[in-house]
Amino acid sequence: MKKHKKANKGTMKKVLQYVGRYWYLVVLSILLAAVSALLTLYVPILIGDAIDLIVGKGQVDFSAVLSYLIKSGVVILIVAVAQWIMNVCNNRISYRVVRDIRKDAFDKLQVLPLKYLDGHPSGEIVSRIIADVEQFSEGLLLGFTQFFTGVVTILGTLFFMVILNPKITIVVVCITPVSLLLAAFIARKTYSMFKIQSETKGEQTGIIDEMIGNQKVVQAFLQEDNVLERFDEVNERLRECSLRAIFFSSITNPATRFVNGLVYAGVGFTGAIAVVNGNLSVGQLSCFLSYANQYTKPFNEISGVITELQNAFACAARIFDFIDETPQTPEKENADVLQQVQGKVDLEAVSFSYEPEQKLIEHLDLKVNPGQRVAIVGPTGCGKTTMINLLMRFYDVTGGKIQVDGKDIKDVTRNSLRTSYGMVLQETWLREGTIRENLTMGKPDATEEEIIAAAKAAHAHSFIKRMSKGYDTEIQEGGEGLSQGQKQLLCIARIMLSLPPMLILDEATSSIDTRTELKIQNAFAKMMEGRTSFIVAHRLSTIKEADIILVMKEGKIIEQGNHESLLRKRGFYYELYQSQFS
């Protein structure tokens, strides 16, 4: 319970920090809420005075009654305008706060270490940034719309009731704590339940996202029943926790209405006695009963708001947890900017592991001279792709250091390091937009001639020209509608256009047919001239011309040399080569 209270306070503090940016709108909203509530409370006084002018048949002061009715109409009109402006202010506050939270969440996404993204389903992260923030937005808007007005109405009603009759007001105040205790009890119960509901929704979104992206594999291995069973299990848990949350939240209104009935009955009974004893007029009793209704109504609304706010804060806690995640190691204040990179790369006693208890790369040493082509081969899981991640500083080494042109990559800006590399991965990525926009990501100012030349070098020009609008053809995110080979050719053309000083090719031709691959290899050979290149390959035929071949096993370089020298050694590389070409 203490943990929940502490978490709730922390969430509230962060929400107030965001809301505090728009304090002027909050102040205006509170003032308008006060005006609206107080004028609303003034109407029963006018009506009560009008009732007291209706003494009996033939004893009605119609002109005075009409005057009170006109005053009431004007007051109600002012209340309507005040509430309209207040709602505009509340909408602005809510949606600006939500915009700021989403922006901060997306900004955090850009600086989170890959370790976090690799360890969390993408659907769960999407659920936090989209669904949880949307739910928080609805709760916050409801809170602003009803909370301020409700509080002012309660205080104002008590003030007017005390002026009319302090004794009857005491009856109202004595019954009030029952409503507050009920609301507080339900709020405590619903927060933890809505938090579980929000987490389960995120898990469900993660499964849906996973299945949409991998439906072919699911159907190929006849896993539909297993996937449905897994989804049904999560769906059932979501049903159960949602029902519990909704049950407790739904009893709020009936419970507070019961208490409100007690208040109204108490006011009616004590007020009737006061009228009989001549301590209260009929008009004043009518006014008091109206106040009793207006006094208890905000308790219904606020108790409903509290339930919604518990849901909103549960969602807010999840998004703030995401925003508060530890970002990647910040760059040094005076980090160098790599310029005119020659391509000299040194790895000195490099050690790295994804999990502390599972060693992967230990004391790895490597010296690469400018313009050398370095091929990295070895069995799956030996650390080839990990080494690429370390070179690009997607992960930081846990021991040793990596230098580019004599500078530790931890002492240079990430942007200058990564723009010094051109990377083509086995997993292709194309963003939503035209083919031209995808090709020029690394060189936005490229000319038409340069774009076409790069596409021709990558053997992508012919299929691009066959498309409906050529280079201006719109493609969806991920390159839907293109074959895997076509997507990879576009990624290769993108690198050939930007031509950075160093290259990383991680199974860059894995999805391309053999005939095209031979042409691409020739284009790569020209592109790699004078550029330091790291080539990860399973097909050893593609790396025969490499200056250095690193043979990795269990995170260590066990053999090193060119193709001929490694074959003469008849070691592990020789066995790999024979297994492919024997």
**Closest-CA residue to 312 (of 181, 88, 182, 146):** 146
Q: Which residue has the tokens 């339930």?
A: 307
Sign of CA dihedral 402, 405, 409, 411: positive
**Which residues, 6 or more positions from 389, have their beta carbon under 8 angstroms from its beta carbon?**
114, 395
**Rounded CA separation 214/372 (Å):** 38
* Contact in structure between 266 and 173 (CB atoms under 8 Å): no
Residue 404 lies in a domain: no
CATH, residue 472: 3.40.50.300
Domain that holds residue 115: 2-323
Residue 448 lies in a domain: yes
Same domain as 454, residue 312: no
- Joined tokens for residue 564: 């001929």
End-to-end alpha carbon distance in the chain: 68
Last residue of a domain, one of 292, 323, 354: 323
Same domain as 432, residue 319: no
* Contact in structure between 530 and 346 (CB atoms under 8 Å): no
Buried-exposed string 432-453: b where 16+ CB fall within 10 A, e elsewhere: eeebbbbbbebbeebeeebbbb
Buried-exposed string 483-494: b where 16+ CB fall within 10 A, e elsewhere: eebbbbbbbbbb
Domains in the chain, number? 2
Residue 432 lies in a domain: yes
Residue 333 lies in a domain: no
Digitized pLDDT (tens) for each residue of the chain, 582 residues in all: 444 555 567 777 888 888 888 888 888 888 888 888 788 878 877 777 777 777 555 666 778 778 888 888 898 899 899 889 988 888 888 888 888 888 888 888 888 887 787 777 777 788 788 878 887 877 777 676 677 777 777 787 778 777 777 777 777 777 766 766 776 676 666 767 777 887 888 788 878 877 776 777 777 777 788 888 888 888 888 888 888 877 777 776 677 777 777 777 777 777 777 777 777 777 777 777 777 777 767 766 666 666 677 777 778 888 888 888 888 877 888 888 888 888 889 989 888 887 777 777 888 888 888 888 888 888 877 778 888 888 888 888 888 899 998 888 888 888 888 888 888 777 777 888 888 988 888 888 888 999 898 888 888 888 888 888 888 888 877 667 787 778 888 888 888 888 888 888 887 666 667 776 776 777 777 777 888 888 887 777 677 778 888 888 877 788 888 888 888 888 888 888 787 765
- φ/ψ of 501, rounded to 5, equals -70, -20
HEC letters along 510-568:
CCCCHHHHHHHHHHHHHHHCCCEEEEECCCHHHHCCCCEEEEEECCEEEEEECHHHHHH
CATH, residue 265: 1.20.1560.10
Per-residue pLDDT at 298: 72
Per-residue pLDDT at 183: 67
Residues in the chain: 582
421 SS3 class: strand
How do strand 433-434 and strand 474-475 relate by DSSP bridges? Answer: antiparallel
Same domain as 315, residue 446: no
Same domain as 191, residue 46: yes
* Contact in structure between 248 and 186 (CB atoms under 8 Å): yes
DSSP at 60: B
**Closest-CA residue to 425 (of 474, 502, 495):** 495
Chain centroid, CA 355 distance in Å:
26
* Contact in structure between 349 and 363 (CB atoms under 8 Å): yes
* Contact in structure between 75 and 47 (CB atoms under 8 Å): no
502 SS3 class: strand
Beta bridge mates, 548: 374
Residue 359 lies in a domain: no
**Rounded CA separation 273/157 (Å):** 21
**Which residues, 6 or more positions from 577, have their beta carbon under 8 angstroms from its beta carbon?**
540, 567
How do strand 532-536 and strand 373-377 relate by DSSP bridges? Answer: parallel
> Long-range contacts made by residues 407-411, C-beta under 8 angstroms, separation at least 24?
407/336, 407/338, 410/329, 410/332, 411/332, 411/335, 411/336
From its phi and psi, is residue 344 left (phi > 0), alpha (psi between -120 and 50) or beta? beta
Per-residue pLDDT at 60: 67
CA-based radius of gyration for the chain: 35
Q: How many CA atoms lie within 13 A of 416 on its CB side?
A: 17
359: number of Cβ within 10 Å: 13
243: number of Cβ within 10 Å: 12
DSSP at 58: T
pTM equals 0.64
Per-residue pLDDT at 319: 84
Residue 557 lies in a domain: no
DSSP string over 422-487? EEE-SS----SEEHHHHHTSS-TT--HHHHHHHHHHTT-HHHHHTSTTGGG-EE-TT-TTS-HHHH
Same domain as 432, residue 310: no
578 SS3 class: helix
**Rounded CA separation 242/84 (Å):** 34
How do strand 502-506 and strand 421-424 relate by DSSP bridges? Answer: parallel
**Rounded CA separation 558/553 (Å):** 7
* Contact in structure between 493 and 458 (CB atoms under 8 Å): yes
- φ/ψ of 381, rounded to 5, equals 85, 10
Last residue of a domain, one of 286, 306, 323: 323
Last residue of a domain, one of 323, 351, 374: 323
Residue 275 lies in a domain: yes
**Closest-CA residue to 441 (of 463, 456, 419, 461):** 419
Per-residue pLDDT at 1: 45
* Contact in structure between 179 and 185 (CB atoms under 8 Å): no
Same domain as 290, residue 167: yes
Same domain as 82, residue 230: yes
Residue 330 lies in a domain: no
